Structure 1
C-alpha cells in the first residue's frame, strides 16, 4: 500500500536535524553505554560518544547545509578531532568513510543511505581491521547495512528500511555477546568477555533506532 512514508527523502537540513536527535539519544544513553563498557572495556565509551556528539552538535548548528556529504563530514571530523582514541577514529570514519569520493548529494533516500553506510563498513574494516564476529561495532553495522540493501531490493521506503536495519543491528548486538573480543581491553579477557554485549555495537543500534524514530515522526508530519 503506497503511503506518504514511501515518498520521504530528506534534504540536508533534515539530515542535520535527524543527527542532532541521534546525538541527543546517544548522550542520554551515556550511563547505559558506560555500564556495558565497564564490564569488559575501559568504561569510557559512553563518555567518548557523548563528547563526540556534543562537538558534532556545536559544529552542525553553526551553519546551514546544502549537501548530505557535508553533514556527514562535519559529524565525522568532529568525532575524529575531539573524541580521541580508537573509538573516535572508528566512529568518525563511520561518517567520513561513507561519503568519501561521493558526488555531492542534496537528498537522502534509502538507496543512498545504504550506499553510504556500505562505504562506511568498508572504510572501518580497512582502518580498524575488524571483521564480523570480532566483538566490535561492525557486529551491528554490517547486519544493519545488509538490512538496508535488502530493503532497497524490495523497493521499501526510507522508514521501512530503517526499521529493518534497526532490527538487524539489535540482532547483531545480541550476537556480539557470543563472541570473544579481538580488540581493546576486552581482548585480554578471552572467553570471559562472552556473555557481554559490545558497547560500540550497542551505540550503532541506538543510532539506527534514533534515525528510525526521527524519520517516523517526519513521515507522520508529511
Structure 2
C-alpha cells in the first residue's frame, strides 16, 4: 500500500476506534496499578464517539476528518487524557492540510507534528512514562523506514514494533506525569496505560494497511 486516500483514512480511523474500545478492560487493569483504573473507560468512550461521527458522514479532506476526530476526543474523553489525545490528532490535521492522499513520508510528518503538539500540551518527554514513550520511537521508526523507501504497510509495521518496545520500556520507568507520579517506584514493573493505548492506535493503523 503506497498511499492512503481520504476514504481509506476514514476506514483506518474506524478500525482504530474499534481496537481501542475492544481493549477497554485491559487498559483499566493497567491503569489500576498506578491510577484511577478508568483509563480504558475514558479511552473507549472517546474513540466510540469518534467512530459514531466518522460513520455519519463523508469527508472531502484529511484535515477536516482529523480535526473532527481531535475535537471529539477532547470533548468526550474528559480528564487530562482527552486534550492529550486530541492534540495528537490536531497536530496531524495541521500537517495534513491541503492533502487528499498520504504517502508513508507524509504520514510520518503528520505523526511527528502530532508528537510535537502532545509534548507542548502535556509537557512530557521521553522517559516520563507517558504515551510519548510509545509515540516518539514509533515516529522515528516510521520516518526512517519511509525515508528508506518503505511503503505504508512496512513503515507502519516498523512504527508499531518500535512503539511496542517503547511501551515495554515504561515498565522500568518511574512516572513523572499524572496521578502515577505520586506513587514513584510503585509504578515500576507495570507498563503505562496511556502508552499502551497509543500503541493500540498504531497497531490498528498497521493492521489496516497490511490488510489492504
Q: Normalization by structure 2: what TM-score?
A: 0.97
2:33 to 33, 39, 49: 39
2:142 & 2:46 partners in 1: Cα distance? 25
* Corresponding residue for residue 139 of structure 2: 145
2:13 aligned with 1:19: yes
- Paired with 1:44 and 1:109, the residues of 2 have a C-alpha distance of 36
- Count of residue pairs the alignment pairs up: 212
Q: CA deviation at 1:19?
A: 0.7
Once the 2 structures are TM-superposed, how far is the Cα of residue 83 of structure 1 from its aligned partner? Answer: 1.0
Is 1:134 the counterpart of 2:128 in the alignment? yes
Partner of 1:72: 66
Map of 1:198 onto structure 2: 192
Q: Write the deviation string for residues 62-87 of structure 1: whole angstroms up to 9, x where unpaired.
A: 21112111121111110001111110
2:91–2:114 contact (8 Å) kept in structure 1: yes
Residue 101 of structure 1: CA displacement?
A: 6.1
2:28 and 2:192 map into 1 onto residues whose CA distance is: 11
Q: Deviations over 1:78-126 (max 9, x none)?
A: 0001111110000111101222265311002111110011001111111
Instruction: Encode CA deviations 1:38-68: one digit per residue, 9 max, x unaligned.
Output: 1111111101111111111111112111211
Q: Aligned-residue CA RMSD in angstroms?
A: 1.0
Which stretches in structure 1 are left out of the alignment for 5+ residues?
Answer: none
Which residue, out of 187, 199, 202, partners 1:208?
A: 202
4+ long deviations beyond 4 Å: none
> Secondary structure at 1:51's aligned position in 2?
helix
Query: 1:109 matched to which residue of 2?
Result: 103
2:3 to 9, 17, 20: 9
